[in-house]
Structure 1
Amino acid sequence: MTATTVGPHFGLVHEVTTTLLAAPDRELPVFERVDLGDRGAAVLQLRRAATEIRRRAIQTVGAAGAGHIGGEFSIIDALATLYLAVLNTSPAQAEAGDPERDRLVLSKGHAANALYTTLAAAGFISPEALRTFLQPESMLNGHPARNKIHAVEANTGPLGHGLPIAVGMAVAAELDGSERRTFVLLGDGELQEGSNWEALMTGGHRKLRNLVALVDRNRLQQGAKVAETNDLEPLADKVRAFGWEVVEIDGNDIGQLLDAFTGAPAASGKPTFIIAHTDKGFPVSYMRDNVAWHHKVPSTEQVAQALTELDEILASIEAEEEK
């Protein structure tokens, strides 16, 4: 590792001097905005981007010796779809603080590495900045901070805060007479926090039509199954009772994610709550649906195995694109 100066031109707020993690096997590609005019091609492009993001994210965790890779892998499909195809935002808008940009709040802030890697793939920060993850003075902390990266909309980490923040952002948009949308990604374990239910009640009462919440329903939290800790079911019925439009999808299916996101705002005028059924660690075989990977660092051999499996997925996507 060598010291380097990482400055605002990387999409960061301040210039810092820090050490670099080991370089990945190859640099993360930066993707163009996906055109949804050709749905089949768009889905393949987003699948490719999500797979490349996973390749880079697991190498970051392996090099840093820390992270939450299982819960990061379960939401990368949603993050890639949002930043590359859905959100009305861009690196220039984020840098300028354009008030009309869409907002995204990552409530499960421990999945910060997934957010950073997606931001790099979408051009909001430089891929090289990923090599500073968790290093001294780095702006890529273990939880995202809006005073360190222009594209981060809210400081998150303490669970149960993201949805209340997003409700406030949606109320602000309403008061501004703006059509900008607010999206928030939650973990299912964090729905055990009472602050979320106060926020759900407020969002439903105010009919915040431009508010979209997605819960990463991977059924696992730190050390146990969600159902064993504090069961959420019947989740859809509970959220509907608070005045929300509820959509249930396979959250690791790009096509279903696109349909759910582009279906908001709902015709009913209610806020949208997407229950995204996912697998922790998706799609890596040894990690998938395994609670141990909530907070575990892969060995060198496990990183290599994950890359092999992800490269097989990339090869299958290339084969589909050539048809």
Structure 2
Amino acid sequence: MEKIALNVREHIIKMATDGGCFIGASLSATDLMVYLYTRFLNVNKDNLEDPDRDYLFLSKGHDVPALYGTLAELGIIEKSRLANHLSLNDHIYWHPNTHIPGIEFHSGSLGHLPSVAVGVAMDIKISGGNNKVVCILGDGELNEGTCWEAVLVANAYKLDNLIFVIDRNQFQANVRTEELIPLEPLKDKFEAFGAAVKRVDGHDFGQLEEAFSAYPFQPGKLNVVIADTVRGKGLPSIEERADRWFCNFSGQEIDQLLLELHGEAATTLTSETLIVR
């Protein structure tokens, strides 16, 4: 998993040019994505249309470079397609698109997919299936009331086949979450809404395994995993920086960041040399 995660981070960095991408949040979600696809979800290149497959909905759609990179590493899409990011000749762009194999639903409008995931999980329950449904949310996304409505409905219908995973990287756009609309105590809030909650280090595969191996956490309750992560994880020069949420690097800067990712260079990119939106 560590090797796959490193490869995914390389893909993300390479997509942060010629128009850029939401690199900070994508890097924070990488280990979550890799763990889910390699250890937890029954999803692979051969069962994408199988009604018994598991489902992943990326509600924080701007993290899609992490999803693209993971799908490429699993052989679900060709790695060469990642070079088409933002090209008019492909559907690989800033948010998920169902024209790309392995992507279940369009997203990007924050707060939208928890309700979609609830609907799919409910259908599975009614049909008597055993599919797992995972929805990945951002911490800033929890400002949206629809997220909490989805939690209420999920618990009302005892959807213990549904897991909400919160990529808790402490930022939304270019502001710290707790400085804008505080979420803590987040675990207590989810529990007050009826969910069964585990909180883990979202970059520790051992902790992720311990949490997800306990699925379902409690019969009849929505499962919630709060994964504490670091925005920009893997690149010390941009980690936990409010101004490094969306970046558009030059080719030279991409080369420097790839070296930094592999620990081969200590690179500090300044605001004067980095295009940031």
SS at 2:16 equivalent: helix
The alpha carbon displacement at 1:141 in A equals 2.4
Count of paired positions: 264
Structure 2 unaligned blocks of 5 or more:
265-277
- Match in the other structure for 1:127: 79
Select which of 102, 113, 130 maps to 2:54.
102
SS at 2:217 equivalent: coil
CA root-mean-square deviation:
1.4
8 Å Cα contact 1:109-1:144 kept in structure 2? yes
In structure 1, C-alpha distance between the alignment counterparts of 2:95 and 2:176, rounded to whole Å: 23
- Match in the other structure for 2:221: 270
2:138 corresponds to 1:187: yes
Select which of 141, 163, 174 maps to 2:93.
141
Query: Aligned partner of 1:49: which letter?
Result: I
8 Å Cα contact 2:111-2:144 kept in structure 1? yes
2:6 corresponds to 1:54: no
Q: How do 1:14-163 residues align onto structure 2 when only pairs under 5 Å count?
A: 46-62=1-17, 64-94=18-48, 97-146=49-98, 148-163=99-114
Higher helix share: 1
8 Å Cα contact 2:27-2:232 kept in structure 1? yes
The alpha carbon displacement at 1:139 in A equals 1.4
Q: Identity, % of aligned pairs?
A: 36
In structure 2, C-alpha distance between the alignment counterparts of 1:247 and 1:309, rounded to whole Å: 32
- Match in the other structure for 1:8: none
The alpha carbon displacement at 1:137 in A equals 3.6
In structure 1, C-alpha distance between the alignment counterparts of 2:205 and 2:89, rounded to whole Å: 36
8 Å Cα contact 1:245-1:268 kept in structure 2? no
Instruction: Please identify runs of 4+ aligned residues in structure 1 that moved more than 6 A.
Output: none
Structure 1 unaligned blocks of 5 or more:
1-45, 314-323
The alpha carbon displacement at 1:298 in A equals 2.9
SS at 1:65 equivalent: coil
Query: What TM-score, normalized by structure 1, do the two folds share?
Result: 0.79
In structure 1, C-alpha distance between the alignment counterparts of 2:86 and 2:252, rounded to whole Å: 22
In structure 2, C-alpha distance between the alignment counterparts of 1:276 and 1:243, rounded to whole Å: 19
SS at 2:57 equivalent: strand
The alpha carbon displacement at 1:299 in A equals 3.6
Query: What TM-score, normalized by structure 2, do the two folds share?
Result: 0.92
In structure 2, C-alpha distance between the alignment counterparts of 1:236 and 1:84, rounded to whole Å: 26
The alpha carbon displacement at 1:270 in A equals 1.5
2:164 corresponds to 1:210: no
The alpha carbon displacement at 1:199 in A equals 0.2
The alpha carbon displacement at 1:301 in A equals 4.2
